[in-house]
Amino acid sequence: MTRESAAGTLTPPVSDSDHAEGASSAPVTLVEYGDYECPSCGGAFPIVKELQRKMGSDMRFVFRNFPLREAHPHALHAAIAAEAVGAHGARKFWAMHDVLYENQDALTDADLAGYASALGVSEAEIANAFEVDAFADRVRADFRNGVRSGVNGTPTFFINGVRYDGDWRDVTAFLGALRSAAKVHA
């Protein structure tokens, strides 16, 4: 498959190694490539939460890292911190994910270590993750896969493996696209 033919198609498909909320048997999977420091991703955060509430068990949500380091200097370390906390379990990853989006204006290394500590992961462990790039490979792999999938900005969403090019800010249209995908795959 050429790079052009892959654009707009999720590559690789969702797997057990992804961070996912919801059952793998859900008829629709929404994947977000996001950046924790991106204001647009911050705006998408409550919308995704609303979509999750409205779709319930019909939707699985997957998050993949796409830190735009040149525009957002704290994005890479925020992603590494989320991955480091996530190594302690899926619930901790999602708690850290949410805390990062709820505190986008405070993403220094000290802030990140403090959030991790509040979730039961030592500040020293987070500081070490930054020093040795323990989780940077995972973040880089997400980023590369995003590029292969045609991601060129954040947030970028995929519904059942196909890029959603509608306006994600239009909750009614976004929800309609998810419900249509759920009916097709039910």
pLDDT, one tens digit per residue, over 14-35 is: 999 999 999 999 999 999 999 9
How many angstroms from the chain centroid is the CA of residue 154?
Answer: 10
Give the tens place of pLDDT for each residue, 134-158.
Answer: 799 999 999 999 999 999 999 999 9
pLDDT at 184: 83
- Report residue 7's pLDDT band, with 50, 70 and 90 as the boundaries: low
pLDDT at 5: 34
d(CA 44, CA 63): 12
Q: Looking at the predicted structure, is the pLDDT value of residue 52 above 70?
A: yes
d(CA 75, CA 35): 6
pTM (predicted TM-score): 0.94
- What value does the mean pLDDT take over residues 82-92? 97
Distances (CA, A) of 76 to 82, 127, 136, 137, 148: 10, 13, 8, 11, 19
d(CA 126, CA 118): 12
**Residue in the block written with tokens 């709820």:** 102
Domain boundaries 3-185, CATH class: alpha beta
